[in-house]
Structure 1
Amino acid sequence: MRMLFNPDGFVVNLADEIDIDEYAVFIGGTIVEMVSERPSDRHQALISGEWQIPMDVVNAENAFTENEWRDSQMPKAQQNVTAIEYGEEGIPGTAQQWQKYWLALRKWTADNPDFPDSTKRPIAPS
């Protein structure tokens, strides 16, 4: 697969009827033979001939995952606080620990400098 890059290093998409070799000369671009077919729609071509998933795509995917995770954890934390306060046994941690966890979950958003690094998620009481 051949890709055309303009002088600024950006991929140029061409209609099928346009000759890539002629257009490359016309714009002063570079034709690159890619090392493989495009692995997925998420990948973008690099002038080295390799494919890469842009970091903004990775971060957006990670943010989506972390938002879903947080949204699933918040009700559990609230339910555990209530259950402990009503005397249920067998729940790890204290009501106060679960409250602190819930508050940490509320702060697990894009405003948090560690978000969306899943290794730095708030940790539930154990």
Structure 2
Amino acid sequence: MRMLFNNEGFVVNLAEEIDIDEYALLIGGTIVQMVYDRPSDRHQALMTGEWEVPKDVIYAENILTENQWRDSQMPLAQQNVTAIEYGEEGIPGTAQQWQKYWLALRKWTADNPDFPKKESRPIKPQ
């Protein structure tokens, strides 16, 4: 697969009927032979012939993952507080620990400087 880059280093997408070699001459672009096929739609071509997933794509995916994780944990924390208060046994932690966990989850948003680093997630009671 050959990719055309303009003089600013951006990929130029061409319709199939346009000759890539002629258009490269016309715009002063560079044609790069890619080392292998594009691994996924997330990957963007580099002028080295390699592919990479841009950092902003990874960041956006991490935000989505962390939001989904938080949204799945908040009801669990509330349910455990209620269950402990009603005398349920076998739930790790105390009601107060689960309340603190729930409050930490509420703050697990883009306003948190560690968000969306998975390793910085609030830790549930054990």
What band does the TM-score fall into relative to the shorter chain? over 0.9
Q: How many residues align?
A: 126
Q: Which residue of 2 aligns with 1:51?
A: 51
User: Amino acid of the residue matched to residue 75 of structure 1?
Assistant: P
Gap regions ≥5 residues in structure 2: none
1:72 match: secondary structure: helix
2:8 match: secondary structure: coil
Cα deviation for residue 37 of structure 1 reads 0.7
Output the CA distance in 2 between the equivalents of 1:119 and 1:29: 42
Q: Which residue of 1 aligns with 2:24?
A: 24
Which string of whole-angstrom CA distances, capped at 9 and with x for unpartnered residues, describes residues 65-107 of structure 1? 1111111110110011111111222111111111110000001
Cα deviation for residue 116 of structure 1 reads 1.3
Q: Which residue of 2 aligns with 1:103?
A: 103
In the TM superposition, structure 1's runs of 4+ consecutive aligned residues that sit over 6 Å from their partners are: none
Q: Which residue of 2 aligns with 1:85?
A: 85
Cα deviation for residue 123 of structure 1 reads 0.3
Output the CA distance in 2 between the equivalents of 1:90 and 1:120: 27
Sequence identity percentage: 80
Output the CA distance in 2 between the equivalents of 1:28 and 1:22: 10
Output the CA distance in 2 between the equivalents of 1:113 and 1:33: 40
Gap regions ≥5 residues in structure 1: none
**Bigger shift: residues 60-69 or 95-104:** 60-69
Output the CA distance in 2 between the equivalents of 1:12 and 1:85: 62
Output the CA distance in 2 between the equivalents of 1:17 and 1:88: 69
TM-score, normalised by the number of residues in structure 1: 0.96
TM-score, normalised by the number of residues in structure 2: 0.96
Output the CA distance in 2 between the equivalents of 1:20 and 1:88: 69
Cα deviation for residue 59 of structure 1 reads 1.3
